[in-house]
Structure formats: structure tokens, C-alpha cells
Structure 1
């Protein structure tokens, strides 16, 4: 029987580093991982026992940040737009497939984070040929995909309508000013935090709770049972895509259903900051109000022994609970409610939403049918939904860049004096200015569709990188064969839509309906 302490790449036992500490070789071009014990959940969260109350209060939450992003882009914009134009049949089941594949993909990304304490963007540097290619490429893909700011522009439209009591005119400048103001609010939230990840988590608990309760109440009041049933049936009934919809539109929908398909990894670093597994050993990004915390430039891992195998299983169960109960369950509810509300708005108006008016289409329809109070309630919900996306995406772009720069540049770490906040906050301000300029150049929903299809690009790259990394983790953390099959399905499903997007952009789409 093979020795479980052998290094999977070299088939040799771990070698002590210069300090005498045993290390674990993982991939290329990055430092070996020091070996130490996994902490217990009780140690990380400061409780005597993880019961149901402690589970909700302390242990769950990183997926809430991901859910906050997902509900704004796919669930409030692209999903309702598609259903409003084409109905539920042939669209709903695609949404469910996307959400299931993305949840499983998220679990594989988070597996690496828990086993090493490294954010995924740092882990990509261990994949051949090494960090000098994969780290800057990964940062570029994330920035390029999300910097267009469609989520910010859509939030600005909703806030304009909330302030003025009317839908903004086409091309109006003031909604863009509101969008920039909301970006400033995101900066202030991050600046006022003691621990950035925890503050985002708590903000999303409050906002998403209010959003889902509000949507349920509105839907119960205005949506007839028949539309509820059509929406649920559409989720579970496979059917061909409806006539007239393009594969590019479907690609945008599947790319931003749940989160961001192949680029979901850019949010999974929050498990490190939450302290899941070895993330507790590597540190986190503190807020300006928090104490300075050392963030390790490289990760650590754990030995393969009985105690750590048992502890890994406990952490993995927490991850599964967080992902399936909060992320998947919330994404499904977050997609069902806005889409049936949009279907009702189409019934009321006899018209279909367009790219120009989808952020405020439902509010305008409810205003005409039920009065001003529902107009304002729908707008408040819409602004909250889009703001949770704005909060998560904006911060995540800054976080990914900070993690990458801090991990790969000893010179920068010296300039920062070990405090990543000195890069994090100035870069957030620079990004705020750039997004404020870019969002002037296209319609909000077309910007979101661009981002969603660019997210599918990640599905052509990162599933294979995850296979490489996760198969080399300490034996208790390694995935089973079926996990690799799931990653291949992500590659095929989301990758197809990106290839179609490119073909459509330069000529003709691969398929039409």
C-alpha cells in the first residue's frame, strides 16, 4: 500500500525546509506548503459546539456573498428578460442545469481553498507553466469580464426611478451618476469594515433576506397560481429553446444564472477569509477599522492522519451545507420569483421587456395596474438586488487583484510592509474611476450580457486547472472520479456558449432556434 505521506508529484516524502518544518510539494513555481494540523470549526468560530444556532450564526455565510452577486445579474436582469420575451418553456430547465453545475464547480474551487488556505487566483500559479502565465491571465480575465459595469448601470437606472418616480429617458446621464454614487457606497462599506469578508457577508444576509421576503410577498399578492405553476414546471420540464431566442442570449443567461459559470472561483476566496479549513492559518484582508492582520503570501496544508481526516470531513460537510442550502437554494428561489413577476408584468402590459427598460419594466407595470405603492416597492427591491451584485463584483475584482499582487511580488509586499490594505483600497478607488467612465458607453443589460458570456470563457480553462490542483492535494482532500466528470460537464456546457458567443461576434452563431 502506498505511503499516504508521499508527495503525489515526486513520490518522495515531504522534505523539511530550512527551518526544519516539513513541507508538501504542490504544482510548480510556487513555494512548498508547510504542513500543520487542520483547526476545528469550534476553534475557528470561537464556540464550544457547532449546533444549528452556531451553524447559522457563525459557520455559514461565504456563499451568501456569491448569492448576492448572482441574484442581481442573472436572476433580476437576464432571466426575467428571457422569460418576458419567450416564456418559461425551454428556458427554465436550462437555468436549473446551470445552477447545479455551478454549485458543484464552486465546491471544487472551495475544496482547494480549504485544503491550502490559498485563494484560487494564487493557486492557479501552481499549474504548469507557472504563476508568470496563469496569475496575470486570470486577473485580466476577471477584470475584463466585469469592468464594463452593467450591474452598476442597471442599479443606477433603478435608483433614478426611485428618486424621480418615473423611468429614465433613453440615454439619460443622471442614472450613470447614481451608479457611480453606489460604487462610492461600496468603497465606504469596505473602508468601514473591521474584516471585509465578514462585513460583506452580514450586509448580504440583511439585504438578501429583505429581498426574498419582499419578493415572496409581492408575488403572492400579484401573481396568479397559474404563473407560479408555469415557472416551477418550466424548471423541471426539458424542452427545446423557444423560437427566436439566440444561443448568445442563452449563453448570457446560463453564464449569470447562479453566479458566473467558469469564473465563479473569483468569489470562493471568501472561504479563506471566513477561516474555513487551512484558511484559518493563512490570514485575511482586514478593513481599515480592523487591526492589521498578516496575510501569508503562500498557503499551508495538513498531514494525512486519522485526526486530520476526520477534521477534513467536518469542514467538507460545512462547505456542502453552505453551498446547497444557501447558494443553490437561494439562487433557485431568486430566479423563480423575479421571472414569474416578469411574466405577470408582461400579462399586464401586453408588451415585452427590452434591453433598455428591463431594470424598471416590472415596477412600471405594477404602477399601472396596482398603484404607486407597488411601483416604489418593486423599485426598492430592484435597487437592493442590483446593489448586492454591485457590492460583490466590485469588491471581488479588487480582492482578486490584491491577492494576486501580494502573493507573487516580494517587492510589493516589502512596499506594503506586509499590509495588503495599502494596495486594496487605492486600487478600489482607481477601479471606481475606470468603471465610472466605461458604463457610459453601452446599455446596462447589453453590458451584463457581455460579462456573462465572458464568464463562460473561464469554463474552457479552469476546470482542467482544478483537476490538476485538486488531484494533488493531501489524500483526504482529493476529489473522487465523478467530481472530475462534473468539471468536464462544466467545460462542455458553458464552454459551448462562449465559443458560440465568439462566432456570433465575428460572424454567424454556431446554432440558431
Structure 2
């Protein structure tokens, strides 16, 4: 198929020129438009196009027409599924039950931060078709490699499958069974079955993203239904009205476990860490913006013709038509994330936190045990069944999304850093990593490492996810501001929001690092105080380094933003709500 004809810079652009006709759209499934890549014009290296630096050049094409909102729902539903079984059902109910509703304000703030960060992660792919990892490779190859290592450290432990299995086994009263020549508790055996089931689902569809999206939408919808049903059964207006009287905050000395859980909860107020970065690849698979030309990963054993995932992306001439389309794409992308992810996140978390606070206020137990030992015994048979179903669905949904996220992100990084030049097949690499990762999860569940405390696996993953977010938020901002042209780079409102997001996660990362070094390793000079003042010498050095890095990035971004002003004619036409 030839490349789409570049549109002239006409004075009048109709709605039909900008928006897709639903009768002609290939949505709601993933969509892809093949192009004669080698015959396309190479984009000029000027201020109206993304900066390729010394790396591969971009090809020039028009932005695709903008579909209606209902046809692009999917990527944010997967992200919501990744969030349901972590912060929503475990971390935030636990923290509020222990410390009071004062901390819930941090959840709402973190959820808004995640909305901004996630949509900024989508920006580069929307504008170029490239993944955010390819963008970071353009900064330096060590950046995506570091994210790969951090991703495994944070997601390589099947804590959600273990927790889902523990909930399911308790609900089904599973005992101990002999499997593979060993005695296994029922919940560990169920966790192994769940990991195997996740692997099998990828084998049933030619385009692996489609099965993930459909399955996640189903699980998320069921989770939201049971959350609302639970509140109808055991919730009360009295609990809601009592919230202002319970705005207490922890007065105890911060322990490393408390800070780790808090940082993890902040990260998982919206999937978190390595998971957030998957938004870039999911919208490429769905066909958002220039990602529609970039190619998708197909099942290598399904028999369908493969699609080439191009190394270097695309860009568009900033004429009136494309500027209007960019504004439309940015609007529909934000709305999809706002209405699917953010609203669903706040509704479910609030309901579950209200329930746990009602029946387990002041508890110091871990998240799964609070539900099993303190809430379920006192809510009655019907509500207990609903809780078992809801928690199982939420935790399993998260594990499913984690497998998908880790495998998709990691295969993209490995392929672009090494596999493409080595002649590897990206679909086969994806399938191989899927098999290895699921097998690794099964091995962990089979081993004594997961024998007693599934929640411990979650805290490790959660805190590592939080630690990752500060550096990559800074990197995303540099990519989007320094490398993108004026009409697609973020506006000042988003730039300031990203500064705040980086500072927010950087603050808690330094606090956790200093608390761990001073309490666990006995290095008291690295003690970090929440107020910063009064920290040890080493802790003060950590705070100082954090501030210097933060200010350096802010200065670099400001320079790029100011220098871009007025470099693209009519750039304001691309500006929309919170762009």
C-alpha cells in the first residue's frame, strides 16, 4: 500500500477532514495502516519536526483522522486493571485503616499525578509512533537498559498472583495438595494455575494485544460491579460522614516498612513504575496517532502475516489540517484516560477504603490479612462472597496486566538495543519472554520464597516501582520538551505539573532510601527526616543531590520551551484542553 497523500495547507478544514467516519473506522479493535516505508519522504531536520539527534531520521506522513472516543477505549482499561489489585485493594485501605483518612488526600493527589505522567508517556508515541523506550534510547542507550533492570526488580515477583491465589484458596477452602512430587498449600498451587492460564490466553488470538484488552475490560468491568455491590451491602453513609473526624496522620517514627508501603501506595495509585511506561506501547498497538503506521506484534505461531515494527518513527507537516488533527487526538487521548482510568481508580479505591476503615480501623495487619481475618468474618455470608470474588478479580487482573506490561516493555527494549541488529524476530522475542516470565513466576510460587508472605512480595515490587518513577518522569519530560517541536511539545501547565510529579516521587524516594540505609544497614549518618531539616550528613547529601538534579532538569526544560516559542507558524491551533 502506498503512503497517504500529504494534505495541503488549506484555509478551511472541515470536521469530516479531522474526524473519522464511524462507518469507515476499523475500531474498536487495534488498527494499523501499512505504508511503503522506504518510499516516504524523510522529514527535514528543522524546528518544525522532532529532533532525531544523531539517531535514525523520521519519515513524513499526515496524522490519521481522529476517531470518536468510544472507539479508542482500551489502553487505559488495561492500566486500570493493573491498578485494581495493588493500591486500590491492598495498599490504600491498609494505610487509611492504620493512620486515618488524612493519607487519603495523598492518594487523590497521586492519582492526578499519574494521569499527567501517563498521558505525557503517551505524547511521544502519539506524535511519532515510536515507543517511549525508543525515545529514551535516542537520549542514551543506558536509559532503557536501566528501566529494564528496574522493571524486573519491581515486577519479577508474582505477588499479585500469590495474593489472588491466597484469596481464592481461602474462599474455596483449599487445603494442601501433592503436586510435582511436593506438598503445596492450595493457594500456591492455585497461583501456579493462574500463571499458566495467563500464558495460555496469549495463544488464542493472532494479535496478542487484542486478547489482553478484551480480557482486561471484562475483568475491570466485573471488579467495578462487585465493588459497587459490596458498598451497597456493607457500606454506610455514616462512615462517609465520619471521614472529617478521622483525618489523623501517623505520629510514630517512620519505619522502613511504613515508608516502603507508602511509596508503593503512591506509585500504585495508578499502576506505577514500569507499568506506567506501557501506555506508550498499548496506544501504539491500538493505533493512536502516528502509532497507526508503526506496526504491531502478532502471535508468531498464529499463521497471519507479520507486521514490520519500524525502528524509526514518523512525523507530520504542521499544516492546518494536521494541527487540527493533533488537537483532536490529544483531546480524545486525555478523555479516554480520564474517564476510563482516573474515574474508575477513584471510585473503586474510595469504596474499598471505606469498607476496610469501617470494619478494621486501627488495624496493623497486612493488606490481605486485613480482608481475610478482620473484614470478612464480620460482614455476613453474602458480603463475604462478594469480597472474595472482588479481591480475586482485582488481584488477578493486576497480575495479568503485569505479565503483559513486563513482557511488552522488555521485548521492545531488548529488540531495539540488540535484537533488531542481530536479526531477531520481535514477535518470537515477545513470545519467548512471555514463556520465560510466566515460568519464572511459577518457579517462585513453587519455591519456599513465597511460602508465607505474599504481601511481602508486593511491598518489594511496589517500593521499587516508586523508586523508578522519579528518574523516568524527568527523562520523559526532557524527551517531550527538548526533542519535540513547538506544536506537539507540552504547554507550561503540563511542564509545571511534571516538575511537581518528579519532585513528589523524588521526595519519597529519598525518604525511603535514607530510612533504609539508616535503619536496616545501620548507617545513621544517612538518616532522612520527613521535614528534611535534622537529617544526618549523608541524608542531607541525598536531599541536596535530589534538589540539584531536579533544578538542572527544570532549567534545561525551560530553556527548550522558551527557545521553541514562535518557531512553528500557527502552532497555537494544536493547543487544546490542558495540552
1:365 and 1:23 map into 2 onto residues whose CA distance is 62
Q: Confirm or deny that 1:422 pairs with 2:436.
A: no
Contact kept in structure 1, 2:233 and 2:383, CA below 8 Å: no
1:230 and 1:289 map into 2 onto residues whose CA distance is 56
1:511 counterpart residue number: 529
1:486 counterpart residue number: 497
Contact kept in structure 2, 1:100 and 1:328, CA below 8 Å: yes
Contact kept in structure 2, 1:21 and 1:35, CA below 8 Å: yes
For residues 262-311 of structure 1, the C-alpha deviation after alignment (integer angstroms, 9 at most, x for no partner) is: 86223432011110001101011223547222222222121211111111
2:510 counterpart residue number: 499
Select the residue among 382, 392, 396 that pairs with 1:383. Answer: 392
Q: 1:267 to 1:156 in 2, by over 3 A?
A: farther
Q: Confirm or deny that 1:23 pairs with 2:43.
A: yes
1:9 counterpart residue number: none
2:336 and 2:202 map into 1 onto residues whose CA distance is 23
2:273 and 2:65 map into 1 onto residues whose CA distance is 31
1:62-211 equivalences under 5 Å are 62-88=75-101, 90-127=102-139, 130-131=140-141, 133-164=142-173, 173-211=185-223
Secondary structure at the residue paired with 2:368? coil
Q: 1:164 to 1:481 in 2, by over 3 A?
A: same
Give the superposition deviation at 1:249.
Answer: 3.0
1:493 and 1:83 map into 2 onto residues whose CA distance is 20
Secondary structure at the residue paired with 1:303? coil
1:290 and 1:311 map into 2 onto residues whose CA distance is 35
1:286-305 equivalences under 5 Å are 286-287=298-299, 288-289=301-302, 291=304, 292-305=306-319
Contact kept in structure 2, 1:70 and 1:258, CA below 8 Å: yes
User: Unpaired segments of 5 or more residues in structure 1?
Assistant: 6-16, 43-49
1:37 counterpart residue number: 62
Q: 1:137 to 1:209 in 2, by over 3 A?
A: same
1:372 and 1:69 map into 2 onto residues whose CA distance is 28
TM-score normalized by the length of structure 1: 0.84
1:378 and 1:362 map into 2 onto residues whose CA distance is 8
For structure 1, which segment, 174-183 or 359-368, has the greater mean C-alpha deviation from structure 2 after superposition? 359-368
Q: 1:466 to 1:199 in 2, by over 3 A?
A: same
Q: 1:451 to 1:290 in 2, by over 3 A?
A: farther
Give the superposition deviation at 1:195.
Answer: 2.2
Select the residue among 441, 447, 451 that pairs with 2:461. Answer: 451
Contact kept in structure 1, 2:52 and 2:58, CA below 8 Å: no
Contact kept in structure 2, 1:255 and 1:452, CA below 8 Å: yes
Contact kept in structure 2, 1:119 and 1:268, CA below 8 Å: yes
1:504 and 1:434 map into 2 onto residues whose CA distance is 31
Q: 1:20 to 1:187 in 2, by over 3 A?
A: closer
For structure 1, which segment, 498-507 or 93-102, has the greater mean C-alpha deviation from structure 2 after superposition? 498-507
Give the superposition deviation at 1:365.
Answer: 4.5
Secondary structure at the residue paired with 1:23? coil
Contact kept in structure 2, 1:121 and 1:266, CA below 8 Å: no
| RMSD over aligned Cα atoms | 2.8
1:320 and 1:400 map into 2 onto residues whose CA distance is 22
Give the superposition deviation at 1:183.
Answer: 1.3
Contact kept in structure 1, 2:107 and 2:269, CA below 8 Å: yes
Contact kept in structure 1, 2:118 and 2:279, CA below 8 Å: no
Contact kept in structure 2, 1:359 and 1:382, CA below 8 Å: no
Q: 1:188 to 1:172 in 2, by over 3 A?
A: closer
Give the superposition deviation at 1:336.
Answer: 0.4
1:441 counterpart residue number: 449
TM-score normalized by the length of structure 2: 0.75
1:399 and 1:59 map into 2 onto residues whose CA distance is 20
Secondary structure at the residue paired with 1:507? helix
For residues 35-81 of structure 1, the C-alpha deviation after alignment (integer angstroms, 9 at most, x for no partner) is: 11111134xxxxxxx3xxxx32x212211111100111111111111
Secondary structure at the residue paired with 1:198? helix
1:109 and 1:139 map into 2 onto residues whose CA distance is 16
Contact kept in structure 1, 2:223 and 2:390, CA below 8 Å: yes
Q: 1:345 to 1:173 in 2, by over 3 A?
A: same
Contact kept in structure 2, 1:262 and 1:457, CA below 8 Å: no
1:322-341 equivalences under 5 Å are 322-341=336-355
Contact kept in structure 2, 1:360 and 1:379, CA below 8 Å: no
Q: 1:162 to 1:28 in 2, by over 3 A?
A: farther
User: Unpaired segments of 5 or more residues in structure 2?
Assistant: 1-8, 10-36, 46-50, 178-182, 520-526, 532-579
1:47 counterpart residue number: none
Give the superposition deviation at 1:99.
Answer: 0.6
For residues 473-492 of structure 1, the C-alpha deviation after alignment (integer angstroms, 9 at most, x for no partner) is: 23321111222211111111
2:114 and 2:150 map into 1 onto residues whose CA distance is 18
Contact kept in structure 2, 1:71 and 1:385, CA below 8 Å: yes
For residues 237-266 of structure 1, the C-alpha deviation after alignment (integer angstroms, 9 at most, x for no partner) is: 987555466433321211211221586223
Give the superposition deviation at 1:188.
Answer: 1.4
Give the superposition deviation at 1:438.
Answer: 3.7
Q: 1:407 to 1:362 in 2, by over 3 A?
A: same
Select the residue among 52, 73, 76 that pairs with 1:60. Answer: 73
1:423 and 1:262 map into 2 onto residues whose CA distance is 19
Query: Larger C-alpha radius of gyration, 1 or 2?
Result: 2
Give the superposition deviation at 1:174.
Answer: 3.2
2:429 and 2:185 map into 1 onto residues whose CA distance is 31
1:253 counterpart residue number: 265
Contact kept in structure 1, 2:227 and 2:390, CA below 8 Å: yes
Secondary structure at the residue paired with 2:353? helix
